[in-house]
């Protein structure tokens, strides 16, 4: 997934954090969607970088349950959930 479009919707939660829903489209077809939880001071640039990093990891096939192979390692990006459409 090299060339994709990212759409973002945000919602402030009572806890003060922000829930971000994102939709990833490629060639005018929805491929994935997901949710991300961030602190209220996180910039748009930081949010986009985190999402792009996770999409790249998922495209390389290293995304699925990598934390199960070594239970001593904590999953790095547990605040992002990505689903196929």
**pLDDT score at 63:** 47
pLDDT in tens, 30-73: 788 999 999 988 999 999 999 988 887 776 654 455 455 555 55
Tell me phi and psi for residue 52, to 5 degrees: -60, -40
Residue 11 reports pLDDT greater than 90? yes
Residue 5 reports pLDDT greater than 80? yes
**pLDDT score at 72:** 56
Strand order from edge to edge, sheet including 29-38: 5-12, 18-26, 29-38, 80-84
Distance CA 40, CA 19 (A): 9
- Helix/strand/coil for 26: strand
> Which DSSP helix (H) or strand (E) runs through 58?
helix 44-59
């Amino acid at each position: 997934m090299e060339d994709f479009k990212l759409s973002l919707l945000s919602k402030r939660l009572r806890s003060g954090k922000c829930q971000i829903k994102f939709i990833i489209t490629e060639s005018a077809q929805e491929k994935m969607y997901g949710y991300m939880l961030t602190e209220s001071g996180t910039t748009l640039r930081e949010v986009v970088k985190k999402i792009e990093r996770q999409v790249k990891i998922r495209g390389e096939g290293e995304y699925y349950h990598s934390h199960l192979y070594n239970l001593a390692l904590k999953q790095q990006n547990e605040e992002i959930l990505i689903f196929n459409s």
